[in-house]
Chain A
Protein backbone atom coordinates (compact mmCIF):
# COMPACT_ATOMS: atom_id res chain seq x y z
CA UNK A 1 0.00 0.00 0.00
CA UNK A 2 2.91 2.31 0.68
CA UNK A 3 4.05 1.71 -2.89
CA UNK A 4 0.59 2.60 -4.24
CA UNK A 5 0.53 5.85 -2.26
CA UNK A 6 4.03 6.77 -3.38
CA UNK A 7 3.24 6.10 -7.04
CA UNK A 8 -0.01 8.06 -6.82
CA UNK A 9 1.81 11.05 -5.34
CA UNK A 10 4.45 10.78 -8.07
CA UNK A 11 1.82 10.67 -10.83
CA UNK A 12 -0.04 13.64 -9.30
CA UNK A 13 3.15 15.71 -9.01
CA UNK A 14 4.21 14.92 -12.58
CA UNK A 15 0.69 15.66 -13.81
CA UNK A 16 0.88 19.13 -12.26
CA UNK A 17 4.37 19.65 -13.68
CA UNK A 18 3.12 18.59 -17.12
CA UNK A 19 0.33 21.18 -16.93
CA UNK A 20 2.92 23.84 -16.14
CA UNK A 21 5.43 23.00 -18.84
CA UNK A 22 5.23 24.51 -22.27
CA UNK A 23 6.93 26.98 -24.57
CA UNK A 24 5.64 29.98 -22.65
CA UNK A 25 6.57 30.79 -19.11
CA UNK A 26 3.38 31.34 -17.13
CA UNK A 27 3.27 31.53 -13.35
CA UNK A 28 1.86 28.42 -11.71
CA UNK A 29 -0.84 30.38 -9.91
CA UNK A 30 -2.05 32.13 -13.09
CA UNK A 31 -2.01 28.87 -15.02
CA UNK A 32 -4.02 26.92 -12.46
CA UNK A 33 -6.53 29.76 -12.09
CA UNK A 34 -6.98 29.79 -15.88
CA UNK A 35 -7.42 26.02 -15.80
CA UNK A 36 -10.05 26.13 -13.06
CA UNK A 37 -12.23 28.85 -14.56
CA UNK A 38 -13.25 28.97 -18.21
CA UNK A 39 -13.16 32.74 -18.67
CA UNK A 40 -12.55 32.70 -22.42
CA UNK A 41 -9.10 34.28 -22.10
CA UNK A 42 -6.37 32.91 -24.38
CA UNK A 43 -4.53 31.51 -21.33
CA UNK A 44 -7.53 29.49 -20.23
CA UNK A 45 -7.87 28.13 -23.78
CA UNK A 46 -4.21 27.08 -23.65
CA UNK A 47 -4.65 25.38 -20.28
CA UNK A 48 -7.99 23.70 -20.96
CA UNK A 49 -7.70 22.78 -24.63
CA UNK A 50 -3.97 22.16 -25.10
CA UNK A 51 -2.17 21.34 -21.85
CA UNK A 52 -4.93 19.48 -19.99
CA UNK A 53 -5.65 16.93 -22.76
CA UNK A 54 -1.92 16.44 -23.27
CA UNK A 55 -1.32 15.63 -19.59
CA UNK A 56 -4.41 13.39 -19.44
CA UNK A 57 -3.31 11.49 -22.54
CA UNK A 58 0.15 10.98 -21.06
CA UNK A 59 -1.47 9.34 -18.02
CA UNK A 60 -3.83 7.20 -20.11
CA UNK A 61 -1.16 6.07 -22.56
CA UNK A 62 1.47 5.44 -19.88
CA UNK A 63 -0.99 3.38 -17.85
CA UNK A 64 -2.00 1.36 -20.94
CA UNK A 65 1.58 0.59 -21.92
CA UNK A 66 2.77 -0.21 -18.38
CA UNK A 67 -0.23 -2.45 -17.71
CA UNK A 68 0.09 -4.29 -21.04
CA UNK A 69 3.79 -4.86 -20.48
CA UNK A 70 3.25 -6.27 -17.00
CA UNK A 71 0.40 -8.51 -18.19
CA UNK A 72 2.35 -9.91 -21.15
CA UNK A 73 5.39 -10.54 -18.99
CA UNK A 74 3.20 -12.30 -16.43
CA UNK A 75 1.53 -14.49 -19.02
CA UNK A 76 4.70 -15.42 -20.91
CA UNK A 77 6.79 -15.45 -17.71
CA UNK A 78 9.43 -13.56 -19.62
CA UNK A 79 10.68 -10.08 -18.70
CA UNK A 80 11.46 -9.27 -22.33
CA UNK A 81 7.84 -9.26 -23.47
CA UNK A 82 6.78 -5.69 -24.22
CA UNK A 83 4.18 -4.38 -26.70
CA UNK A 84 6.68 -2.12 -28.48
CA UNK A 85 9.48 -4.66 -28.78
CA UNK A 86 7.32 -7.55 -29.97
CA UNK A 87 5.67 -5.50 -32.69
CA UNK A 88 2.21 -4.91 -31.22
CA UNK A 89 2.66 -1.12 -31.17
CA UNK A 90 4.11 -1.16 -34.68
CA UNK A 91 1.19 -3.21 -35.97
CA UNK A 92 -1.27 -0.86 -34.26
CA UNK A 93 0.45 2.11 -35.93
CA UNK A 94 0.04 0.37 -39.29
CA UNK A 95 -3.66 -0.11 -38.56
CA UNK A 96 -4.04 3.57 -37.67
CA UNK A 97 -2.17 4.71 -40.76
CA UNK A 98 -4.31 2.47 -42.97
CA UNK A 99 -7.51 3.88 -41.46
CA UNK A 100 -6.28 7.44 -42.02
CA UNK A 101 -4.93 7.02 -45.53
CA UNK A 102 -7.89 5.05 -46.88
CA UNK A 103 -10.18 7.83 -45.69
CA UNK A 104 -12.02 5.41 -43.40
CA UNK A 105 -11.18 7.48 -40.32
CA UNK A 106 -12.52 10.63 -41.95
CA UNK A 107 -15.83 8.95 -42.75
CA UNK A 108 -16.17 7.25 -39.36
CA UNK A 109 -14.02 8.53 -36.49
CA UNK A 110 -13.95 5.28 -34.51
CA UNK A 111 -12.38 3.51 -37.49
CA UNK A 112 -9.02 4.90 -36.33
CA UNK A 113 -8.81 3.11 -32.94
CA UNK A 114 -10.73 0.10 -34.28
CA UNK A 115 -8.30 -0.44 -37.13
CA UNK A 116 -5.32 -0.01 -34.77
CA UNK A 117 -6.92 -2.51 -32.40
CA UNK A 118 -7.50 -4.99 -35.23
CA UNK A 119 -3.89 -4.95 -36.35
CA UNK A 120 -2.72 -5.17 -32.71
CA UNK A 121 -4.87 -8.31 -32.22
CA UNK A 122 -3.25 -9.83 -35.30
CA UNK A 123 0.22 -9.05 -33.96
CA UNK A 124 -0.47 -10.50 -30.48
CA UNK A 125 -1.98 -13.62 -32.03
CA UNK A 126 1.06 -14.06 -34.25
CA UNK A 127 3.43 -13.58 -31.30
CA UNK A 128 1.61 -16.08 -29.09
CA UNK A 129 1.48 -18.55 -31.98
CA UNK A 130 5.18 -18.19 -32.75
CA UNK A 131 6.48 -17.95 -29.19
CA UNK A 132 4.29 -20.72 -27.76
CA UNK A 133 2.75 -20.81 -24.30
CA UNK A 134 6.04 -20.49 -22.39
CA UNK A 135 7.34 -17.65 -24.55
CA UNK A 136 10.98 -18.70 -24.88
CA UNK A 137 13.13 -15.59 -25.15
CA UNK A 138 14.76 -16.36 -28.46
CA UNK A 139 11.53 -17.02 -30.39
CA UNK A 140 9.84 -14.09 -28.68
CA UNK A 141 12.56 -11.64 -29.71
CA UNK A 142 12.90 -13.05 -33.22
CA UNK A 143 9.16 -13.02 -33.82
CA UNK A 144 9.04 -9.48 -32.44
CA UNK A 145 11.81 -8.30 -34.76
CA UNK A 146 10.06 -9.81 -37.77
CA UNK A 147 6.63 -8.36 -36.93
CA UNK A 148 8.08 -4.93 -36.10
CA UNK A 149 10.07 -4.83 -39.32
CA UNK A 150 7.10 -5.86 -41.44
CA UNK A 151 4.72 -3.40 -39.76
CA UNK A 152 7.28 -0.60 -40.01
CA UNK A 153 7.96 -1.25 -43.67
CA UNK A 154 4.24 -1.33 -44.53
CA UNK A 155 3.62 1.86 -42.54
CA UNK A 156 6.41 3.62 -44.45
CA UNK A 157 5.07 2.28 -47.74
CA UNK A 158 1.53 3.51 -47.10
CA UNK A 159 2.75 6.94 -46.02
CA UNK A 160 5.14 7.25 -48.97
CA UNK A 161 2.30 6.48 -51.37
CA UNK A 162 0.00 9.08 -49.82
CA UNK A 163 -0.88 12.05 -52.04
CA UNK A 164 -0.27 14.33 -49.04
CA UNK A 165 3.17 15.99 -49.14
CA UNK A 166 3.45 15.87 -45.34
CA UNK A 167 2.57 12.19 -44.97
CA UNK A 168 6.10 10.86 -45.49
CA UNK A 169 7.39 13.02 -42.62
CA UNK A 170 4.70 11.41 -40.44
CA UNK A 171 6.72 8.17 -40.47
CA UNK A 172 8.79 9.52 -37.56
CA UNK A 173 5.65 10.24 -35.57
CA UNK A 174 4.15 6.79 -36.05
CA UNK A 175 7.43 5.03 -35.21
CA UNK A 176 8.45 7.21 -32.27
CA UNK A 177 5.24 8.68 -30.86
CA UNK A 178 4.44 12.16 -29.64
CA UNK A 179 1.77 13.96 -27.65
CA UNK A 180 2.33 17.36 -29.25
CA UNK A 181 -0.90 19.27 -29.94
CA UNK A 182 -3.25 16.41 -29.14
CA UNK A 183 -6.73 17.43 -28.02
CA UNK A 184 -9.81 16.17 -26.20
CA UNK A 185 -10.97 14.70 -29.52
CA UNK A 186 -8.18 12.15 -29.16
CA UNK A 187 -9.03 11.45 -25.54
CA UNK A 188 -12.65 10.62 -26.41
CA UNK A 189 -11.47 8.43 -29.28
CA UNK A 190 -9.07 6.40 -27.16
CA UNK A 191 -10.68 6.31 -23.71
CA UNK A 192 -13.53 3.79 -24.36
CA UNK A 193 -11.10 1.24 -25.81
CA UNK A 194 -8.57 1.81 -23.06
CA UNK A 195 -11.23 1.33 -20.36
CA UNK A 196 -12.20 -2.03 -21.87
CA UNK A 197 -8.53 -3.00 -22.17
CA UNK A 198 -7.71 -1.96 -18.61
CA UNK A 199 -10.72 -3.89 -17.23
CA UNK A 200 -9.71 -7.04 -19.11
CA UNK A 201 -6.06 -6.85 -18.03
CA UNK A 202 -6.75 -5.83 -14.42
CA UNK A 203 -8.93 -8.93 -14.05
CA UNK A 204 -6.00 -11.21 -14.88
CA UNK A 205 -4.12 -10.73 -11.57
CA UNK A 206 -5.11 -13.91 -9.78
CA UNK A 207 -4.71 -16.11 -12.85
CA UNK A 208 -1.24 -14.69 -13.49
CA UNK A 209 -0.27 -15.31 -9.85
CA UNK A 210 -1.38 -18.92 -10.21
CA UNK A 211 0.51 -19.22 -13.47
CA UNK A 212 3.82 -18.58 -11.68
CA UNK A 213 3.45 -22.11 -10.28
CA UNK A 214 3.27 -23.57 -13.77
CA UNK A 215 0.42 -24.27 -16.16
CA UNK A 216 -0.66 -27.58 -14.60
CA UNK A 217 -0.78 -26.11 -11.11
CA UNK A 218 -2.68 -23.09 -12.40
CA UNK A 219 -5.23 -25.31 -14.13
CA UNK A 220 -5.60 -27.34 -10.96
CA UNK A 221 -6.33 -24.09 -9.13
CA UNK A 222 -9.18 -23.38 -11.54
CA UNK A 223 -7.48 -21.07 -14.04
CA UNK A 224 -8.96 -21.51 -17.49
CA UNK A 225 -6.01 -20.94 -19.79
CA UNK A 226 -7.89 -20.31 -23.07
CA UNK A 227 -9.96 -17.64 -21.36
CA UNK A 228 -6.85 -16.09 -19.83
CA UNK A 229 -5.19 -16.00 -23.22
CA UNK A 230 -8.25 -14.40 -24.89
CA UNK A 231 -8.49 -11.69 -22.21
CA UNK A 232 -4.77 -10.98 -22.54
CA UNK A 233 -4.94 -10.68 -26.34
CA UNK A 234 -8.00 -8.42 -26.36
CA UNK A 235 -6.89 -6.38 -23.34
CA UNK A 236 -3.42 -5.70 -24.71
CA UNK A 237 -4.68 -4.97 -28.21
CA UNK A 238 -7.39 -2.60 -26.95
CA UNK A 239 -5.12 -0.56 -24.68
CA UNK A 240 -2.03 -0.54 -26.92
CA UNK A 241 -4.14 -0.09 -30.07
CA UNK A 242 -5.97 2.93 -28.67
CA UNK A 243 -2.78 4.47 -27.28
CA UNK A 244 -0.92 4.05 -30.58
CA UNK A 245 -3.84 5.30 -32.68
CA UNK A 246 -3.66 8.73 -31.06
CA UNK A 247 0.01 9.09 -30.09
CA UNK A 248 2.05 6.79 -32.31
CA UNK A 249 4.17 3.86 -31.15
CA UNK A 250 5.95 4.64 -27.87
CA UNK A 251 8.31 1.81 -27.04
CA UNK A 252 10.03 0.49 -23.93
CA UNK A 253 7.49 1.82 -21.36
CA UNK A 254 6.15 -1.68 -20.78
CA UNK A 255 9.69 -3.03 -20.45
CA UNK A 256 11.30 -0.48 -18.14
CA UNK A 257 8.42 0.11 -15.72
CA UNK A 258 7.66 -3.51 -14.72
CA UNK A 259 11.39 -4.17 -14.43
CA UNK A 260 11.87 -1.25 -12.03
CA UNK A 261 8.81 -2.09 -9.93
CA UNK A 262 9.11 -5.89 -9.77
CA UNK A 263 11.38 -5.92 -6.66
CA UNK A 264 8.92 -3.70 -4.77
CA UNK A 265 5.95 -6.04 -5.25
CA UNK A 266 7.86 -9.21 -4.41
CA UNK A 267 7.57 -10.44 -7.98
CA UNK A 268 3.79 -10.96 -7.67
CA UNK A 269 2.24 -10.46 -11.15
CA UNK A 270 -1.11 -9.31 -9.72
CA UNK A 271 0.51 -6.47 -7.75
CA UNK A 272 2.80 -5.66 -10.65
CA UNK A 273 -0.24 -4.96 -12.85
CA UNK A 274 -1.56 -1.90 -11.00
CA UNK A 275 1.92 -0.78 -9.99
CA UNK A 276 3.04 -0.81 -13.62
CA UNK A 277 -0.05 1.09 -14.72
CA UNK A 278 0.79 3.89 -12.26
CA UNK A 279 4.51 3.68 -13.02
CA UNK A 280 3.85 3.82 -16.77
CA UNK A 281 1.73 6.94 -16.32
CA UNK A 282 4.54 8.58 -14.32
CA UNK A 283 7.14 7.58 -16.89
CA UNK A 284 5.28 8.94 -19.95
CA UNK A 285 4.40 12.13 -18.05
CA UNK A 286 8.08 12.61 -17.17
CA UNK A 287 9.22 11.90 -20.74
CA UNK A 288 6.64 14.32 -22.15
CA UNK A 289 7.81 17.03 -19.74
CA UNK A 290 11.40 16.37 -20.77
CA UNK A 291 10.74 16.68 -24.52
CA UNK A 292 9.16 20.08 -23.88
CA UNK A 293 11.67 21.42 -21.36
CA UNK A 294 14.97 20.06 -22.68
CA UNK A 295 14.47 20.75 -26.40
CA UNK A 296 11.49 23.11 -26.50
CA UNK A 297 11.82 24.04 -30.17
CA UNK A 298 12.82 20.69 -31.63
CA UNK A 299 9.59 18.66 -31.31
CA UNK A 300 11.57 15.68 -30.00
CA UNK A 301 9.58 12.45 -30.12
CA UNK A 302 8.75 10.54 -26.94
CA UNK A 303 10.05 7.28 -28.38
CA UNK A 304 13.54 8.76 -28.67
CA UNK A 305 13.71 9.44 -24.93
CA UNK A 306 12.13 6.11 -24.06
CA UNK A 307 14.62 4.24 -26.24
CA UNK A 308 17.55 6.09 -24.65
CA UNK A 309 16.38 4.82 -21.27
CA UNK A 310 14.95 1.49 -22.39
CA UNK A 311 17.47 0.13 -24.87
CA UNK A 312 20.37 -0.16 -22.38
CA UNK A 313 18.03 -1.94 -19.97
CA UNK A 314 16.90 -4.22 -22.79
CA UNK A 315 20.53 -5.12 -23.51
CA UNK A 316 21.08 -5.78 -19.81
CA UNK A 317 18.02 -8.06 -19.68
CA UNK A 318 19.18 -9.97 -22.76
CA UNK A 319 22.59 -10.42 -21.13
CA UNK A 320 20.92 -11.72 -17.96
CA UNK A 321 18.58 -14.11 -19.74
CA UNK A 322 21.39 -15.37 -21.98
CA UNK A 323 21.92 -18.23 -19.58
CA UNK A 324 18.53 -19.73 -20.46
CA UNK A 325 19.30 -19.62 -24.18
CA UNK A 326 20.76 -22.72 -25.79
Chain B
Protein backbone atom coordinates (compact mmCIF):
# COMPACT_ATOMS: atom_id res chain seq x y z
CA UNK B 1 0.00 0.00 0.00
CA UNK B 2 2.94 2.31 -0.59
CA UNK B 3 1.33 3.85 -3.63
CA UNK B 4 -1.68 6.15 -3.10
CA UNK B 5 -4.70 4.23 -4.40
CA UNK B 6 -6.46 7.38 -5.57
CA UNK B 7 -3.85 8.09 -8.20
CA UNK B 8 -3.97 4.64 -9.74
CA UNK B 9 -7.74 4.88 -9.98
CA UNK B 10 -7.75 8.22 -11.75
CA UNK B 11 -5.34 6.81 -14.27
CA UNK B 12 -7.70 3.93 -15.01
CA UNK B 13 -10.73 6.18 -15.58
CA UNK B 14 -10.80 8.00 -18.90
CA UNK B 15 -10.49 11.75 -18.50
CA UNK B 16 -13.75 12.61 -20.25
CA UNK B 17 -15.56 10.22 -17.92
CA UNK B 18 -13.95 11.86 -14.90
CA UNK B 19 -15.02 15.28 -16.09
CA UNK B 20 -18.55 14.05 -16.63
CA UNK B 21 -18.59 12.57 -13.14
CA UNK B 22 -17.46 15.86 -11.65
CA UNK B 23 -20.17 17.64 -13.58
CA UNK B 24 -22.80 15.24 -12.29
CA UNK B 25 -21.42 15.68 -8.80
CA UNK B 26 -21.65 19.42 -9.08
CA UNK B 27 -25.24 19.31 -10.30
CA UNK B 28 -26.16 16.78 -7.60
CA UNK B 29 -24.58 18.93 -4.92
CA UNK B 30 -26.51 22.01 -6.04
CA UNK B 31 -29.72 20.03 -6.22
CA UNK B 32 -29.20 18.62 -2.73
CA UNK B 33 -28.80 22.08 -1.31
CA UNK B 34 -32.11 23.18 -2.75
CA UNK B 35 -34.05 19.99 -2.21
CA UNK B 36 -34.26 16.66 -0.41
CA UNK B 37 -32.53 13.76 -2.22
CA UNK B 38 -34.87 12.12 -4.71
CA UNK B 39 -33.13 8.77 -5.14
CA UNK B 40 -31.73 7.24 -1.95
CA UNK B 41 -29.95 3.88 -1.74
CA UNK B 42 -29.19 2.22 1.60
CA UNK B 43 -26.36 -0.32 1.89
CA UNK B 44 -26.54 -1.08 5.62
CA UNK B 45 -29.14 -3.06 7.58
CA UNK B 46 -29.64 -0.33 10.18
CA UNK B 47 -29.88 2.57 7.73
CA UNK B 48 -32.30 0.39 5.70
CA UNK B 49 -34.71 0.29 8.61
CA UNK B 50 -34.32 3.94 9.64
CA UNK B 51 -34.88 5.02 6.05
CA UNK B 52 -37.91 2.73 5.63
CA UNK B 53 -39.45 4.40 8.69
CA UNK B 54 -38.75 7.96 7.58
CA UNK B 55 -38.45 8.21 3.79
CA UNK B 56 -41.15 9.80 1.67
CA UNK B 57 -42.93 7.44 -0.75
CA UNK B 58 -40.64 6.66 -3.67
CA UNK B 59 -37.62 8.35 -2.09
CA UNK B 60 -35.85 5.12 -1.10
CA UNK B 61 -35.06 3.04 -4.17
CA UNK B 62 -33.00 0.12 -2.84
CA UNK B 63 -32.10 -1.54 0.46
CA UNK B 64 -29.30 -3.91 1.45
CA UNK B 65 -29.74 -7.65 1.04
CA UNK B 66 -30.08 -8.23 4.79
CA UNK B 67 -33.21 -6.05 4.87
CA UNK B 68 -35.11 -8.99 3.34
CA UNK B 69 -33.85 -11.46 5.98
CA UNK B 70 -36.54 -11.91 8.64
CA UNK B 71 -33.89 -12.99 11.16
CA UNK B 72 -32.05 -9.67 10.91
CA UNK B 73 -34.60 -7.04 9.93
CA UNK B 74 -37.80 -5.95 11.67
CA UNK B 75 -39.10 -4.31 8.51
CA UNK B 76 -39.07 -7.19 6.04
CA UNK B 77 -42.65 -6.49 4.89
CA UNK B 78 -41.89 -2.86 3.99
CA UNK B 79 -38.48 -3.79 2.54
CA UNK B 80 -39.94 -6.47 0.25
CA UNK B 81 -41.39 -3.71 -1.95
CA UNK B 82 -37.88 -2.54 -2.80
CA UNK B 83 -35.09 -4.27 -4.72
CA UNK B 84 -31.99 -5.22 -2.73
CA UNK B 85 -28.37 -4.40 -3.44
CA UNK B 86 -25.18 -6.23 -2.43
CA UNK B 87 -23.65 -3.09 -0.89
CA UNK B 88 -20.88 -2.88 -3.55
CA UNK B 89 -19.87 0.38 -5.20
CA UNK B 90 -20.46 -0.89 -8.73
CA UNK B 91 -24.12 -1.85 -8.40
CA UNK B 92 -24.89 1.09 -6.09
CA UNK B 93 -23.44 3.52 -8.65
CA UNK B 94 -25.54 1.99 -11.42
CA UNK B 95 -28.69 2.80 -9.39
CA UNK B 96 -27.76 6.48 -9.87
CA UNK B 97 -28.55 7.61 -6.33
CA UNK B 98 -28.45 11.19 -5.08
CA UNK B 99 -27.61 9.92 -1.61
CA UNK B 100 -26.20 6.66 -0.28
CA UNK B 101 -26.86 5.68 3.34
CA UNK B 102 -24.11 3.59 4.90
CA UNK B 103 -22.84 2.58 8.32
CA UNK B 104 -19.52 3.77 9.72
CA UNK B 105 -18.44 0.11 9.48
CA UNK B 106 -19.33 -0.17 5.79
CA UNK B 107 -16.25 -1.16 3.78
CA UNK B 108 -14.23 2.09 3.52
CA UNK B 109 -13.17 1.16 -0.01
CA UNK B 110 -16.83 1.18 -1.10
CA UNK B 111 -17.52 4.54 0.55
CA UNK B 112 -14.35 6.08 -0.89
CA UNK B 113 -15.13 4.82 -4.36
CA UNK B 114 -18.69 6.18 -4.29
CA UNK B 115 -17.50 9.57 -3.06
CA UNK B 116 -14.85 9.65 -5.74
CA UNK B 117 -17.61 8.99 -8.28
CA UNK B 118 -19.34 12.08 -6.96
CA UNK B 119 -22.09 10.45 -4.94
CA UNK B 120 -22.97 11.85 -1.53
CA UNK B 121 -22.62 9.22 1.19
CA UNK B 122 -24.08 9.71 4.66
CA UNK B 123 -22.49 7.55 7.37
CA UNK B 124 -24.42 6.40 10.44
CA UNK B 125 -22.59 5.12 13.52
CA UNK B 126 -24.03 1.97 15.12
CA UNK B 127 -26.07 2.68 18.24
CA UNK B 128 -24.42 1.71 21.51
CA UNK B 129 -27.25 2.87 23.80
CA UNK B 130 -30.99 3.48 23.73
CA UNK B 131 -30.27 7.21 23.89
CA UNK B 132 -28.63 6.91 20.45
CA UNK B 133 -32.01 6.08 18.86
CA UNK B 134 -33.33 9.70 18.86
CA UNK B 135 -29.94 10.87 17.52
CA UNK B 136 -30.04 8.40 14.64
CA UNK B 137 -33.65 9.30 13.86
CA UNK B 138 -32.71 13.00 13.77
CA UNK B 139 -29.67 12.31 11.57
CA UNK B 140 -31.75 10.26 9.15
CA UNK B 141 -34.52 12.88 9.16
CA UNK B 142 -31.99 15.56 8.25
CA UNK B 143 -30.35 13.42 5.55
CA UNK B 144 -33.68 12.65 3.89
CA UNK B 145 -35.21 16.10 4.41
CA UNK B 146 -37.87 14.49 6.62
CA UNK B 147 -37.23 16.31 9.90
CA UNK B 148 -40.88 16.45 10.89
CA UNK B 149 -41.41 12.70 10.57
CA UNK B 150 -38.26 12.14 12.64
CA UNK B 151 -39.46 14.47 15.39
CA UNK B 152 -42.77 12.60 15.53
CA UNK B 153 -41.11 9.18 15.81
CA UNK B 154 -38.70 10.47 18.47
CA UNK B 155 -41.55 11.77 20.61
CA UNK B 156 -43.33 8.40 20.36
CA UNK B 157 -40.12 6.59 21.24
CA UNK B 158 -39.38 8.73 24.30
CA UNK B 159 -42.93 8.37 25.60
CA UNK B 160 -42.94 4.57 25.12
CA UNK B 161 -39.54 4.20 26.81
CA UNK B 162 -40.64 6.28 29.79
CA UNK B 163 -43.72 4.07 30.09
CA UNK B 164 -41.51 0.99 30.54
CA UNK B 165 -40.02 2.21 33.84
CA UNK B 166 -41.46 0.40 36.84
CA UNK B 167 -40.67 0.46 40.53
CA UNK B 168 -38.45 -2.57 41.06
CA UNK B 169 -37.45 -4.05 44.35
CA UNK B 170 -34.33 -5.86 43.16
CA UNK B 171 -32.37 -6.00 39.93
CA UNK B 172 -31.65 -9.59 38.88
CA UNK B 173 -28.20 -10.29 37.38
CA UNK B 174 -28.16 -11.36 33.76
CA UNK B 175 -25.63 -12.21 31.07
CA UNK B 176 -25.96 -11.99 27.31
CA UNK B 177 -24.04 -14.86 25.76
CA UNK B 178 -23.36 -15.27 22.06
CA UNK B 179 -21.43 -17.72 19.87
CA UNK B 180 -17.70 -17.95 20.66
CA UNK B 181 -18.45 -16.89 24.25
CA UNK B 182 -18.95 -13.26 23.27
CA UNK B 183 -20.81 -11.17 25.82
CA UNK B 184 -22.22 -7.63 25.57
CA UNK B 185 -21.48 -5.22 28.39
CA UNK B 186 -23.27 -2.08 29.56
CA UNK B 187 -21.86 0.21 26.89
CA UNK B 188 -23.45 -1.70 24.03
CA UNK B 189 -26.96 -1.48 22.63
CA UNK B 190 -27.81 -5.00 23.86
CA UNK B 191 -26.41 -4.19 27.28
CA UNK B 192 -28.48 -1.02 27.46
CA UNK B 193 -31.63 -2.95 26.48
CA UNK B 194 -30.89 -5.30 29.37
CA UNK B 195 -30.38 -2.36 31.77
CA UNK B 196 -33.59 -0.65 30.64
CA UNK B 197 -35.47 -3.92 31.21
CA UNK B 198 -34.32 -3.86 34.83
CA UNK B 199 -31.33 -6.23 34.87
CA UNK B 200 -27.78 -5.84 36.08
CA UNK B 201 -25.24 -7.14 33.58
CA UNK B 202 -22.57 -9.55 34.85
CA UNK B 203 -20.36 -8.68 31.86
CA UNK B 204 -19.75 -5.34 33.60
CA UNK B 205 -18.49 -7.23 36.69
CA UNK B 206 -16.05 -9.02 34.38
CA UNK B 207 -14.82 -5.69 32.99
CA UNK B 208 -16.39 -6.17 29.56
CA UNK B 209 -18.29 -2.85 29.34
CA UNK B 210 -17.87 -2.68 25.57
CA UNK B 211 -18.36 -6.41 25.11
CA UNK B 212 -15.78 -9.13 24.61
CA UNK B 213 -15.06 -12.79 25.17
CA UNK B 214 -16.29 -14.06 28.51
CA UNK B 215 -14.73 -17.48 29.16
CA UNK B 216 -17.34 -20.14 29.95
CA UNK B 217 -15.67 -20.83 33.31
CA UNK B 218 -15.93 -17.19 34.29
CA UNK B 219 -19.58 -17.02 33.27
CA UNK B 220 -20.35 -20.09 35.40
CA UNK B 221 -18.50 -18.66 38.40
CA UNK B 222 -20.39 -15.36 38.05
CA UNK B 223 -23.57 -17.49 38.28
CA UNK B 224 -26.06 -14.94 36.90
CA UNK B 225 -29.78 -15.32 37.56
CA UNK B 226 -30.45 -15.33 33.83
CA UNK B 227 -28.44 -16.16 30.74
CA UNK B 228 -29.80 -14.77 27.47
CA UNK B 229 -28.31 -16.51 24.45
CA UNK B 230 -28.07 -15.13 20.95
CA UNK B 231 -30.16 -16.38 18.06
CA UNK B 232 -29.43 -19.78 16.62
CA UNK B 233 -28.28 -19.32 13.02
CA UNK B 234 -29.18 -21.95 10.42
CA UNK B 235 -26.59 -24.63 9.79
CA UNK B 236 -24.00 -25.72 12.33
CA UNK B 237 -20.91 -24.04 13.73
CA UNK B 238 -18.60 -25.09 16.50
CA UNK B 239 -18.61 -21.45 17.61
CA UNK B 240 -22.22 -22.00 18.73
CA UNK B 241 -21.51 -25.22 20.66
CA UNK B 242 -20.64 -23.22 23.77
CA UNK B 243 -24.28 -22.06 24.03
CA UNK B 244 -25.34 -25.71 24.43
CA UNK B 245 -22.65 -26.60 26.99
CA UNK B 246 -24.08 -28.73 29.82
CA UNK B 247 -22.32 -26.51 32.40
CA UNK B 248 -24.78 -23.69 31.62
CA UNK B 249 -27.67 -25.95 32.60
CA UNK B 250 -25.94 -27.38 35.64
CA UNK B 251 -26.23 -24.17 37.65
CA UNK B 252 -29.20 -24.66 39.99
CA UNK B 253 -30.16 -20.97 40.34
CA UNK B 254 -29.64 -19.83 36.77
CA UNK B 255 -32.45 -19.59 34.24
CA UNK B 256 -31.68 -19.94 30.54
CA UNK B 257 -33.54 -17.79 28.07
CA UNK B 258 -32.67 -19.07 24.62
CA UNK B 259 -32.46 -17.04 21.44
CA UNK B 260 -33.82 -13.76 22.69
CA UNK B 261 -31.32 -11.49 20.99
CA UNK B 262 -32.85 -11.33 17.53
CA UNK B 263 -33.65 -8.66 14.96
CA UNK B 264 -35.02 -6.24 17.61
CA UNK B 265 -31.60 -6.04 19.26
CA UNK B 266 -29.37 -5.32 16.28
CA UNK B 267 -30.09 -1.76 15.20
CA UNK B 268 -30.74 1.52 17.00
CA UNK B 269 -34.32 1.94 15.76
CA UNK B 270 -37.54 2.29 17.80
CA UNK B 271 -37.87 -1.53 17.46
CA UNK B 272 -35.49 -1.85 20.45
CA UNK B 273 -38.56 -1.04 22.56
CA UNK B 274 -39.92 -4.49 21.69
CA UNK B 275 -36.68 -6.02 22.97
CA UNK B 276 -36.97 -4.02 26.22
CA UNK B 277 -40.63 -5.07 26.60
CA UNK B 278 -39.79 -8.73 26.03
CA UNK B 279 -36.94 -8.70 28.55
CA UNK B 280 -39.04 -6.80 31.06
CA UNK B 281 -41.84 -9.38 30.77
CA UNK B 282 -39.25 -12.09 31.30
CA UNK B 283 -37.97 -10.34 34.43
CA UNK B 284 -41.49 -10.06 35.85
CA UNK B 285 -42.06 -13.78 35.16
CA UNK B 286 -38.79 -14.63 36.92
CA UNK B 287 -39.77 -12.49 39.93
CA UNK B 288 -43.10 -14.27 40.21
CA UNK B 289 -41.49 -17.69 39.86
CA UNK B 290 -38.76 -16.88 42.40
List the interface of chain A (C-beta within 8 A of B).
22-24, 40, 42-43, 45-46, 48-51, 100-101, 103, 105-106, 162-167, 169-170, 173-174, 181, 183-185, 297, 299
Contact = CB atoms under 8 A, between A and B. Distances in A.
Contacts of B213: 297, 299
B218 A24 contact: yes
A22 B215 CA distance: 9
A164 B235 contact: yes
B241 interface: yes
B236 A45 contact: no
Interface residues of B, number: 28
Nearest to A48: B250
Nearest to B216: A181
B220 A45 contact: yes
Contact of A169 (B233, B239, B247, B251): B239
B285 to A, nearest CB: 23
Given A23-B215, A185-B246, A162 B236 contact: yes
24 contacts: A23-B218, A42-B221, A45-B250, A46-B217, A46-B221, A49-B245, A49-B246, A50-B216, A50-B217, A100-B236, A101-B235, A106-B236, A162-B235, A162-B237, A164-B233, A166-B180, A166-B238, A169-B239, A170-B238, A174-B238, A181-B216, A181-B245, A183-B247, A297-B213
Contacts of A103: 236
Contact of B246 (A100, A162, A184, A297): A184
A271 to B, nearest CB: 37
Contacts of A163: 233-235
Which secondary structure dominates chain A's binding surface? helix
Which secondary structure dominates chain B's binding surface? helix
Contacts of B238: 166, 170, 173-174
Contacts, number: 86
Interface of B: 179-181, 213, 215-218, 220-223, 233-242, 245-247, 250-252
B100 to A, nearest CB: 24
B20 to A, nearest CB: 40
Contacts of B236: 100-101, 103, 105-106, 162, 164, 167
Given A22-B215, A181-B242, 11 more contacts: A46-B217, A46-B220, A50-B217, A51-B217, A106-B236, A162-B236, A164-B233, A164-B236, A164-B240, A166-B237, A181-B181
A121 B88 CA distance: 45
Contact of A42 (B237, B240, B251): B251
A170 B238 CA distance: 6
Contacts of B180: 166, 169
